[in-house]
Amino acid sequence: MTKPRVRFAPSPTGALHIGGVRTALYNYLFAKQQGGAFILRIEDTDQNRYVPGAEKYIIETLRWVGLIPDEGVDFDGAYGPYRQSDRKEIYQKYARELVTRGRAYYAFDTPEALEVRRAAEENFTYNHLTRGGLTNSLTLPAAEVQHRLDAGEPCVIRLLVEPGQAIRINDLIRGEVVFQSSELDDKVLLKADGMPTYHLANIVDDHLMAITHVIRGEEWLPSTAHHVLLYEGFGWQDTMPQFAHLPLILKPVGNGKLSKRDGAKFGIPVFPLEWKGATPEDSFSGFRDTGFLPEAVINFLALLGWHPGGEQEIFSLNELIAAFSIEHISKGGARFDYEKARWFNQKYIQAADNGVLATHIRPLAEAKGYRVSDAYLAQVAGLMKERVTFLPDFVEVGYYLFESVRVYDAEALHKKWNTGLSPVFEDLTDLVATFEPFNGVALEEAVKNFISAKGLKPGDVLPLLRLALAGTMKGPAIFDMAEALGQDETAERLRRFVAYAGKNAESAVNG
């Protein structure tokens, strides 16, 4: 059996939507499972919609999530060039060939003339019903057509759609889908400026790049009817790829397609990376800058419309490759469940190696001006990873591992502190400042002995010790924190705390 060749073919018209990343992922999984090729093709023939920076964004996204193309723009490959704007001449040649084969024709109608028709006739379409009355190579004498072409008169090439045909597609997800050719328009294939439309370029490239399977979003299903006619027109039906149209991604609330505006509306990322557009409305946050691990994003996206059955939810990329199958992709839309994305991120952070987490935390710590060693960052990772959802939480929620406590939880302080504790905490500070060897286990034993020697209970002292170190009742185990902070800092925090509590917890004494 030949190995599959699949392509991810985004148009660089802005930030790549997270749904596009899912399309890339499913293509990648399908190819890798069968030892095939995953190709990145940039479909940039629509100059009006071209956005600078969008191609770079696509490539950076694929690299970030680890879906590395075997061939494509920015990658090698024997079927290039892989950017459609670099293939212009190829499409012109094939468009003319289709005319020669009697499956396409030249149309000389000016945009203005068509505008007049559209204004006069509601639902005007260029098709088998109207083309006989329009200015094209089907209605003009051959000599005149040649004359107009020789004179360089602007014209387009349109697909000749014959009515009365049933066009059948065996979609790998949807089963048989039938379109009636009588309902289709004569799509423009080559524009007056010599650029191909999406339909022509897409089919010519899928053919020349020997694509075996087209896996793409559901919104392209209607276009497939024209695509089948193109394959037939060129005589390529025997090597026509198989189609699989992926379900829509729905809004978090479950109804309607997830749109780029939903990010701002629901306060969640719907793009992989941050995108700085020309205006604030066109600028978006992404999963990466929100603090997702790429592995979590991949796992989340994989299950957005696909599940192999069974209970397993955590899948590494390799496990996804092994488990993936088109049969288990659902037909119905998949709700963009952001809570689930957060859950995946928590799970992946918890399971990550502390050293790896340290490399993710380093830039975040540096941005805040924290100067710490890799070893310390790995320690912080270990202390905090059960308590965070996003990577920035390490330096935000866990800020007290990098700088002094900013605020003490007032409620906890008032509940636990009384002036009688001042001398106890002074003695405790002395103990901490001189205790050897300064490690968590030994210190814990010593402090517990100290507490009972004072005739107190652990519950009288330990919550306050926690407040002294972190300011909050939540957070890592007290003595692990103390060990990470080190002897001097731990003692210093106790001193500061005693001074603060003495001044600020008066109400506890009076009340």
Positions touching ligand GLU (CB under 6 A) are 9-11, 43, 198, 202, 216, 220
Structure tokens at 286: 């992404």
Query: Taken in order 50, 56, 58, 59, is the CA torsion positive or negative?
Result: positive
Q: How far is the CB of 14 from ligand GLU (least distance, A)?
A: 11
Q: How far is the CB of 211 from ligand GLU (least distance, A)?
A: 10
Q: How far apart are the first and last CA of the chain?
A: 82
Q: In this complex, which beta carbon is closest to ligand GLU, that of residue 88 or of residue 307?
A: 88
Q: How far is the CB of 73 from ligand GLU (least distance, A)?
A: 13
Q: How far is the CB of 224 from ligand GLU (least distance, A)?
A: 9
Q: Is 260 an active-site residue?
A: yes
Q: How far is the CB of 198 from ligand GLU (least distance, A)?
A: 6
One of 88, 257, 260, 454 is an active-site residue; which one? 260
Q: In this complex, which beta carbon is closest to ligand GLU, that of residue 43 or of residue 262?
A: 43
For residues 27 and 30, give the distance between their C-alpha atoms in angstroms, rounded to a whole number: 5
Q: In this complex, which beta carbon is closest to ligand GLU, that of residue 220 or of residue 438?
A: 220
Q: Which residue, 316, 268, 312, is CA-closest to 296?
A: 316
For residues 481 and 471, give the distance between their C-alpha atoms in angstroms, rounded to a whole number: 12
Q: Which residue, 334, 360, 366, is CA-closest to 254?
A: 334
Q: In this complex, which beta carbon is closest to ligand GLU, that of residue 201 or of residue 364?
A: 201
Long-range contacts of 216-221 (CB under 8 A, 24+ apart): 216/9, 216/23, 216/244, 216/245, 216/246, 217/19, 217/23, 217/245, 217/246, 217/248, 218/245, 218/246, 218/247, 218/248, 219/248, 220/245, 221/171, 221/174, 221/177, 221/245
Q: In this complex, which beta carbon is closest to ligand GLU, that of residue 239 or of residue 359?
A: 239
> 402 has which bridge partners?
none
For residues 333 and 51, give the distance between their C-alpha atoms in angstroms, rounded to a whole number: 29
Q: Assign residue 309 a region: left if phi > 0, alpha if psi is -120 to 50, beta otherwise?
A: left
Q: Which residues have a catalytic role annotated?
A: 260
